[in-house]
Amino acid sequence: MATETHCPYCSLQCGMRLAGRRTPEVSAWEEFPVNQGALCRKGWAAAGLYGGRERLTSPLVRDRGTGEWSAVSWDDALDRVADGIRAAQASGGPDRVAVFGGGGLTNEKAYALGKLARVALGTSQIDYNGRWCMSSAASAGIRAFGLDRGLPFPLVDVEETDVLVLVGSNLAETMPPAARHLDRLRERGGKVVVIDPRRTPTADRADLHLQPVPGTDLALALGLLHLLAAAGAVDPAYLAERTTGWEDVRDSVASWWPERVERVTGIEAHELRALAAMLGRSPRVMVLTARGAEQHSTGSDTVLAWINVALALGMVGRRGAGYGCLTGQGNGQGGREHGQKADQLPGYRRIDDPAARAHVAGVWGVEPDSLPGPGRSAYELLDALGTPDGPSALLVLGSNIVVSAPRATHVTSRLEALDLLVVCDIVMSETAALADVVLPVTQWAEETGTMTNLEGRVVLRQRAVTPPSGVRSDLEVIAGLAERLGSAASFPTDPEEVFAELGRASAGGPADYSAITYDRIRDEKGVFWGGERLFADAFAHPDGRARMHAVEHRGAAEQPCADYPVHLTTGRVLAQYQSGAQTRRVRSLPDDGPFVELHPLLAGRIGVGQGDVVRVATRRGEMTAPAKVVPTIRPDTVFVPFHWVGANRLTNDALDPASRMPEFKVCAASVVAHA
Ligand SMILES: Nc1nc2c(c(=O)[nH]1)N[C@H]1C(S)=C(S)[C@@H](COP(=O)(O)OP(=O)(O)OC[C@H]3O[C@@H](n4cnc5c(=O)[nH]c(N)nc54)[C@H](O)[C@@H]3O)O[C@H]1N2
Ligand SMILES: Nc1nc2c(c(=O)[nH]1)N[C@H]1C(S)=C(S)[C@@H](COP(=O)(O)OP(=O)(O)OC[C@H]3O[C@@H](n4cnc5c(=O)[nH]c(N)nc54)[C@H](O)[C@@H]3O)O[C@H]1N2
Ligand code: SF4
Ligand SMILES: [Mo]
């Protein structure tokens, strides 16, 4: 008997069937609407995650003197962690203990982790890797619409639009089954526009591909809106009825004529005019952003500028049109709704809102005043570790920080400065390897839990295989710690029970899960929170109107100079996932290691050929890897995937002032042949 469940990886959360409880076999689940049986290469190979020599099956502790690991019992391991936490608290109060979560964790785990921090640990110091993923689009969505749900409509709506503009998304490699929607849209006569400094497999499907200098999407949006306003292509009735702020925005784009945009972005004036003409004459336009546009120190303003384009055209809330953000991690959406974020309580409530605190404290059975306030954002939290004012103990669930954090060498030194590092993982990730205590946990279809996909559809990842003996679920680890710390609140370990509690805690909040049950999810093949399509009649601000914000182009925090003359950008390849902790261990997936993608003109200038080793350096560090010489990238830009240690030694830790997103997608670098 096969069990219906979902992929371990990205935010599409493709449905799949799993048979065989000990040697799982993946097969298609055609009836699941999002992917209709299609999976990408990683999904088909998912069974390779199970078992394996590298799987952790016993708690481990590391002797700091010798560096030796030894296996200990669960009781011993959890006692040590609780002792270490108490010691840290005794040395300077509850904020000496920090928690770092992940957008790959189920809703139940994200919720329990936030509750552990606020109730059992009493710390404000919790944030998660989604800060590096979704935060710019989330902050822009809240400011513009009053609500943040990645796609406010089902993904399949893409097929109904007339022009789809993908800003910084390579979905043909990052969510391959979604690329079918582009093909079907084009068969219908619709157009696809891709904005990416590289001609990716996604751009190969585009009718128009614009290849801007990394970090200039904001100027591009301003220039586009300038042309649309000048051509009278905006929708005055919609602007008057459904928005505020248009006059300021209109004035702010007045000086962004195409030649100025060309100087900043490298996009020729005639290309920008072609795009404006295409959008201006189309009844339905859809703009989707992803990490290429968002992972910048100007990411949230960039998203606001693209939202302004969609609003000015009167598209948001209209069927087959509007704005959306393509979320990333398996639970990128739900992971940012239920309280593992520094400023948040479950249901997407704000931790500084007295009514929200009273409601959630009521569900948890504690006093509202006992809940801490907002803490530090992900990078700021890591940056503070082991400093006199910062946390001295850290608990990590669901992130491989050593590989994926910006300015990773510095972050690694902060981790090493801790008195106690505890990592819950399924394998000895690069981060777990630095820990004092490693706790081996169940993963994916070894346990049941809900995930909220990129459309806001809550799906049930059902247990289908038997976990290896010796491991415990994250929920059991959290409950075990809470009990040892003498927590006032109870921590159930049955996922369905946790989900019901999460429903109560989220009730009445912006992301309200109270009407969703496991049975409904099974029957309906996923349930959208807030409804299938949002904003048809009103936005979530009290007056029902969307807010347009006039934003200024600032450019990347670091510009090329004589010593670092090229732009470095980073991203993903199809067969690897994130820090690679999981996929690099799946033997049926290709792992050729990192590479440096560069244009033949640049390769010629520095005298390297295909496969020659090059050295890339920035103000923060350097790495070496073979050159991948391709004509598809801008000659002034190099690209490095971040699935292996290296890329993030280079990246810039400049943060967006609103979202605290690091500038993963652009910095100044030098590239030379490796001696
Ligand atoms: N195979 C695979 N799929 C994944 C993941 C994975 O690790 N591997 N991770 C998942 C997660 S968590 C996420 S967040 C998503 C990310 O999904 P995407 O956002 O699609 O992925 P990226 O490769 O990070 O970036 C997309 C594109 O942005 C371009 N880019 C770089 N700089 C700029 C810029 O300044 N402007 C513009 N317009 N484009 C730029 C890059 O060239 C790249 O092609 O993928 C999800 N799916
Ligand atoms: N240079 C550069 N850096 C980037 C990005 C970029 O584009 N460029 N993208 C950023 C983005 S968008 C993201 S999302 C981050 C992702 O980067 P990370 O936060 O490192 O994400 P993962 O590699 O998915 O790490 C998840 C870890 O949790 C473990 N794990 C899996 N399932 C479970 C579970 O159920 N419980 C527990 N306890 N552990 C589990 C995995 O084995 C793995 O070690 O990287 C960011 N870093
Ligand atoms: S697209 Fe994403 S969810 Fe679907 S199979 Fe691939 S990794 Fe899994
Ligand atoms: Mo992500």
Ordered domains of the chain (ranges, CATH): 3-49 (2.20.25), 61-130+342-447+462-489 (3.40.50.740), 135-326 (3.40.228.10), 566-673 (2.40.40.20)
DSSP string covering 149-168: -S-SS-GGGGGG-SEEEEES
Instruction: Tell me the CA distances in angstroms from 197 to 176, 567, 571, one per residue in order.
Output: 20, 10, 12
Query: How many whole angstroms from 328 Cα to the centroid of ligand 3?
Result: 10
Residue among 10, 13, 566 whose CB has most ligand 1 atoms within 8 A, to mutate: 10
User: Is the CB of 634 within 6 Å of ligand 1?
Assistant: no
Cα separation, 369 vs 523, in Å, equals 40
Tell which atom from ligand 2 comes closest to the C-alpha of 647. Answer: 1
Residue carrying the six token digits 């990842």: 461
The percent of residues above 70 in pLDDT, for the chain, comes to 100
Look at residue 51 in the predicted model and tell me its pLDDT: 74
Return the SS3 of 459.
strand
CA 489 to chain centre: 30
Q: Atom 6, ligand 3: which residue's CA is nearest? A: 40
Instruction: Tell me the CA distances in angstroms from 277 to 203, 237, 315, one per residue in order.
Output: 20, 20, 16
Nearest ligand, CA of residue 292?
Answer: 1
Eight-state DSSP code of residue 212: P
Look at residue 675 in the predicted model and tell me its pLDDT: 83
Query: How many whole angstroms from 30 Cα to the centroid of ligand 1?
Result: 27
What is the amino acid identity at position 421? L
pLDDT tens column, 472-484? 999 999 999 999 9
Q: Atom 2, ligand 3: which residue's CA is nearest? A: 10
Strand 596-598 to 60-62 pairing = unpaired
Tell which atom from ligand 3 comes closest to the C-alpha of 16. Answer: 5
Cα separation, 122 vs 115, in Å, equals 9
Nearest ligand, CA of residue 661?
Answer: 2
Q: Residue 672 CB: number of other CB atoms within 10 A?
A: 13
Look at residue 319 in the predicted model and tell me its pLDDT: 98
User: Taking Cα atoms as reference points, which of 92, 62, 34, 48 lies closest to residue 532?
Assistant: 34
Cα separation, 250 vs 650, in Å, equals 38
DSSP string covering 349-400: EETT-HHHHHHHHHHHTS-GGGS------HHHHHHHTTSTTS-SEEEEES--
Confirm if 624 and 617 have CB atoms less than 8 A apart: no
Q: Which residues line ligand 3 (CB under 6 A)?
A: 7, 9-10, 12-14, 35, 39-40, 42-43, 175-177
pLDDT tens column, 51-79? 777 999 999 999 999 999 999 999 999 99
What is the amino acid identity at position 256? W
Q: What is the 3-state secondary structure (H, E, C) of 572-593?
A: CCCCCCCCCCCHHHCCCCCCCC
User: Is the CB of 170 within 6 Å of ligand 1?
Assistant: yes
What is the amino acid identity at position 38? A
Query: How many whole angstroms from 513 Cα to the centroid of ligand 1?
Result: 29
Q: What is the 3-state secondary structure (H, E, C) of 9-61?
A: CCCCCCEEEEECCCCCEEEECCCCCCCCCCCCHHHHCHHHHCCCCCECCCCEE
Return the SS3 of 333.
coil
CA angle 624, 626, 627 (to 5 degrees): 110
Q: What is the 3-state secondary structure (H, E, C) of 66-86?
A: CCCEEECCHHHHHHHHHHHHH
Look at residue 53 in the predicted model and tell me its pLDDT: 77
Return the SS3 of 91.
helix
Q: Which residues have a Cβ under 8 Å from the Cβ of 412 and sit 6 or more positions away?
A: 402, 434
What is the amino acid identity at position 396? V
Confirm if 396 and 100 have CB atoms less than 8 A apart: yes
Q: Which residues have a Cβ under 8 Å from the Cβ of 646 and sit 6 or more positions away?
A: 594, 623, 625, 640
What torsion, rounded to 10 degrees, do the Cα atoms 14, 17, 20, 22 define? Answer: 20
User: Is the CB of 122 within 6 Å of ligand 2?
Assistant: no
CB burial of 584-614 (b: ≥16 within 10 Å; e: otherwise) equals bbbeebeeeebbbbbbeebbeebebeeeeeb
Query: How many whole angstroms from 647 Cα to the centroid of ligand 1?
Result: 14
Confirm if 576 and 48 have CB atoms less than 8 A apart: no
Look at residue 22 in the predicted model and tell me its pLDDT: 80
Positions in the chain short of pLDDT 50: none
Cα separation, 211 vs 266, in Å, equals 8
Characterise 232 by phi-psi region: left (phi > 0), alpha (psi -120 to 50), beta (else).
left
User: Is the CB of 169 within 6 Å of ligand 2?
Assistant: no
Return the SS3 of 102.
coil
